[in-house]
């Protein structure tokens, strides 16, 4: 049975449970299905019945897997199904947004048992924001009637570029005080036996889409977040593709116009500076001021001089031409960049999420048109581009998935997700 005292507590992002490569294959097969029969494991791994039974018996004896009874018959005897043993403990997911904190306590299979949500300001010092997370973790453990020792791992999503191997933010524009802050060490000081995995907010949304959304069973997809910023999470061969330093998918800083406005990264004409929420608001203010949209002008007056992206969306619903043009132009710029990515990466699906994704069909149609116009026919024949239907839960389910991905590790240090 798993013993937290055997946990590897070195500074690396090590998982507490070390398995051999054969055991990892079973766990990986399990990850694809959640619940799985011996025959399915045998089909996926290519092992004989005897070898499959032997490996499973080992994992059940160690307390990692449990028999959960009979599944539906496929014509013959009803298969006996296996899943991860929820008695192993709990994982924690933390989704830190620019203005909100969301935490969940889940079993190792990803089922959320407790959750907390509150507003925050990520520009505060990391000790303050993470300190609050620590208190909320304590609250959830109490509410669940469990001890800190039953907590296995923490997955943290943050809104900035993450050096994944080190688990730190690097030059985060939104949260400069977090530069190089040791997020893992902060939690390990209070919960010494846990492992902590830190990733950027869009990668966890991609994981959430894969676990609970339409991205389940899709091997190659891109999750695009359009909000205050723009970013993408890439699932390649069923796994997150982070690149060599962790910043793969940072598409917000691809240049779309060399003469464009200065971006918060310091360069000019980045996609994010041209097409994300603040750019939409900026253009809406111009339309309100120069008389091209009396409606936006009225809204601005009614809001005390302020316009928000939601106002532009509301104006689109009223068929305001200036607002429609602003949204179409954003969609086209996002679509042009995605067309390049489609040619390069050949995904079967693109899911669009984030605050601006609620903007309905005008945005989606413009994105689709731009992608179809500029991508290779072979790459778009079966390409699906849609809003993510997983909704606001994508981030937190992804943070939980991030934590459970690293529960097991093979001895050579290569991790296997399950």
Positions that interact with Zn ion (CB under 5 A): 253, 263, 265, 267, 270
User: Which helix H or strand E contains 217, and what residues bound it?
Assistant: none
- To Zn ion, the closest distance from the beta carbon of 255 in angstroms equals 8
- To Zn ion, the closest distance from the beta carbon of 270 in angstroms equals 3
Closest CA to 395 of 48, 158, 67, 71: 158
Smaller CB separation from Zn ion, 118 or 245: 245
Smaller CB separation from Zn ion, 197 or 263: 263
- To Zn ion, the closest distance from the beta carbon of 307 in angstroms equals 23
Q: What are phi and psi of 79, to 5 degrees?
A: -75, 150
- To Zn ion, the closest distance from the beta carbon of 269 in angstroms equals 8
Helix extents (H) in 224-276: 271-275
| 161, 250 Cβ separation under 8 angstroms | yes
Smaller CB separation from Zn ion, 161 or 347: 161
Buried b / exposed e along 22-60 (16+ C-beta atoms within 10 A): bbbbbbbbbbeeeebbbebbbebbebeeeebeebbebbe
- To Zn ion, the closest distance from the beta carbon of 254 in angstroms equals 8
Closest CA to 114 of 94, 152, 143: 143
Smaller CB separation from Zn ion, 270 or 356: 270
Residues in the chain, overall count: 418
Buried b / exposed e along 111-135 (16+ C-beta atoms within 10 A): eeebbbeeebebeeebeebbebbbe
- To Zn ion, the closest distance from the beta carbon of 273 in angstroms equals 6
Smaller CB separation from Zn ion, 159 or 167: 159
- To Zn ion, the closest distance from the beta carbon of 186 in angstroms equals 28
CA–CA separation, 36 and 209 (whole Å) = 21
What three-state secondary structure class fits 36?
strand
Smaller CB separation from Zn ion, 110 or 231: 231
Smaller CB separation from Zn ion, 16 or 227: 227
């Amino acid at each position: 049975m798993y013993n937290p005292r055997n946990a590897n507590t070195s500074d690396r992002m090590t998982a507490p449970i070390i398995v051999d490569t054969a055991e990892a294959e079973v766990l990986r097969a399990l990850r694809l299905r959640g619940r799985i029969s011996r025959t399915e494991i045998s089909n996926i791994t290519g092992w004989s019945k005897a070898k499959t039974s032997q490996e499973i018996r080992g994992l059940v004896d160690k307390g990692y897997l449990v028999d959960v009874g009979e599944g539906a018959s496929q014509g013959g005897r009803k298969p006996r199904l296996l899943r991860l043993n929820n008695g192993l403990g709990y994982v924690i997911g933390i989704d830190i947004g620019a203005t909100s904190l969301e935490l969940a306590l889940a079993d190792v299979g990803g089922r959320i048992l407790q959750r907390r949500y509150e507003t925050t300001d990520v520009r505060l010092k990391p000790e303050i924001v993470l300190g609050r997370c620590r208190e909320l973790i304590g609250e959830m453990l109490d509410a669940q009637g469990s001890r800190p020792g039953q907590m296995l791992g923490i997955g943290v999503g943050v809104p900035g570029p993450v050096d994944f191997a080190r688990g730190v933010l690097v030059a985060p524009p939104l949260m400069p005080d977090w530069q190089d802050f040791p997020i893992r060490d902060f939690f390990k000081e209070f919960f010494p036996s846990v492992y902590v995995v830190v990733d950027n907010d869009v990668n966890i949304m991609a994981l959430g889409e894969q676990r609970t959304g339409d991205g389940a069973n899709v091997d190659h997809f891109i999750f695009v977040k359009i909000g205050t910023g723009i970013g993408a999470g890439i699932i390649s061969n069923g796994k997150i593709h982070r690149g060599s330093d962790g910043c793969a998918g940072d598409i917000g800083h691809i240049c779309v116009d060399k003469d464009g406005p200065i971006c918060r990264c310091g360069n000019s004409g980045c996609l994010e500076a041209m097409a994300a929420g603040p750019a939409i608001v900026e253009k809406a203010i111009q339309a309100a001021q120069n008389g091209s949209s009396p409606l936006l002008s009225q809204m601005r007056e009614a809001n005390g001089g302020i316009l928000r992206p939601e106002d532009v969306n509301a104006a689109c619903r009223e068929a305001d031409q200036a607002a429609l043009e602003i949204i179409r132009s954003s969609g086209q710029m996002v679509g042009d960049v995605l067309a390049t990515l489609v040619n390069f990466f050949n995904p079967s699906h693109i899911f669009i999420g984030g605050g601006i994704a609620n903007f309905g069909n005008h945005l989606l149609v413009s994105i689709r048109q731009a992608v179809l116009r500029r991508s290779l026919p072979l790459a778009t024949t079966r390409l699906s581009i849609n809003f993510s239907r997983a909704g606001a839960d994508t981030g937190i389910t992804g943070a939980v998935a991030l934590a459970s991905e690293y529960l097991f590790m093979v001895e050579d240090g290569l991790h296997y997700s399950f």
